[in-house]
Structure 1
Amino acid sequence: MSPQDYKPFDPGLPPGRARALPWITVMAGSLVTILPAIATFPVLPPFGLLMLLAWRLLARFALRPWAAAPLGAFDDLASGQPLGSAVLLWSATFLAIELIEQRLVFRDFWQDWLIAAGGIAFCLVMGRLIAVPLGAQVDTVLVAQIVMTIMLFPLAARTVAWIDRKRGREAA
């Protein structure tokens, strides 16, 4: 960080905008699925889920515990998944993270990455069971999507950390 970037008395964003920024970034991540993309191997990661997990794990109080339900409903509407699947799965993931946080007093990035990997795998596997018939041969694509999404978590965490630093801590 250069001396020009360090501004200890910079007020940051107004509190209303600072509180809305995590919601906006998760919804923007969910809207990535509506962009037209041509792929030979369809493994587009769920960016909304990535951003939600990154906000929850890096800036705990940026999103309230109930925020997973409306953000999941928005993701269901944007992605075309069965209505209520992301609401259920994202809320269950938030509850599991809350239980893990009660047990772990201190965490580092590797533990956050492991927690996010479990949440990603849970949401994608359960979403597959909800949305796709059991006879469909999508398991190899699902594993590739899970691995790609887990590998993209550090990028999402870095983006969230940058946004959180820019929005100011006093609104959290």
Structure 2
Amino acid sequence: MNRAGPRLGEPASLWRMRAVPVATVIAASALPLMLPLIANSPVLPPLGLLFFLCWQLLRTEMWPVWIGLPLGLVDDLFSGAPIGTAVCLWTLASIAIHYFAQRIYWRGFFHDWGIAALLLAAVQAAAALIAHPDAPTGRVLGLVAPQVVISALLVPFFLRLTGRFDNFRLKRR
């Protein structure tokens, strides 16, 4: 049978619906390893965390709350952070997003941006303090501040990019 296109009512590919979100987060976590960037302080935003938060904000019901465990472990392995840092912090961020989703029924763009910026700042600050427990707190947070600002400013771009990936994910065969 030769078909020219998808049939009416045909569902999207189940494989693509499950693999695209996870693959984007894992690829974004691995991307900084492939970039030839040398810096004294953290400059590049946590791309995996940005995609993780954007997927959670865009499709809250898509993933269970515990999805931060495996995706955070992958990010810990790629980033070189102490194992368990992103596992714990991403899971707490996922719990926070599910909490906000239950409390704020009509979220808009600026709500999502504010939630993502707040969670990015909290996760990056906590990760820096966990990675450098002996360093002075003010110095560690001062080093992370530019990375937090850059990450917060990139949230709208990543929300749009996540929306594009979501359209691809839901496209019929």
Q: Report the TM-score when normalising by structure 1.
A: 0.86
Letter in 2 for 1:49: L
**2:124 maps to 1:124:** yes
Contact kept, 8 Å, 2:116 with 2:155, in 1: the verdict is yes
Contact kept, 8 Å, 1:22 with 1:62, in 2: the verdict is no
Superposed displacement of residue 134, structure 1: 2.5
Superposed displacement of residue 140, structure 1: 2.7
Superposed displacement of residue 18, structure 1: 1.6
Superposed displacement of residue 8, structure 1: 9.5
* Alignment size in residue pairs: 164
Superposed displacement of residue 41, structure 1: 5.9
Superposed displacement of residue 99, structure 1: 1.3
Contact kept, 8 Å, 1:27 with 1:48, in 2: the verdict is yes
Contact kept, 8 Å, 1:13 with 1:168, in 2: the verdict is yes
Q: Report the TM-score when normalising by structure 2.
A: 0.86
Superposed displacement of residue 77, structure 1: 0.3
RMSD of aligned Cα (Å): 2.2
Cα gap change, 1:8 to 1:76, in 2 (>3 Å): same
Deviations 1:30-54 (A, max 9, x none): 0022122234764110000000000
Task: State the structure with more CA Rg.
Answer: 2
Q: Which residue of 1 aligns with 2:18?
A: 19
Letter in 1 for 2:102: Q
Structure 2 runs not aligned, ≥5 long: 1-5
Q: Hey, what's the Cα distance between the residues in 2 that align with 1:13 and 1:169? A: 6
Structure 1 runs not aligned, ≥5 long: 1-6
Q: Hey, what's the Cα distance between the residues in 2 that align with 1:67 and 1:9? A: 33
Q: Which residue of 2 aligns with 1:161?
A: 163
**2:90 maps to 1:90:** yes
Q: Which residue of 2 aligns with 1:75?
A: 75
Cα gap change, 1:143 to 1:18, in 2 (>3 Å): same
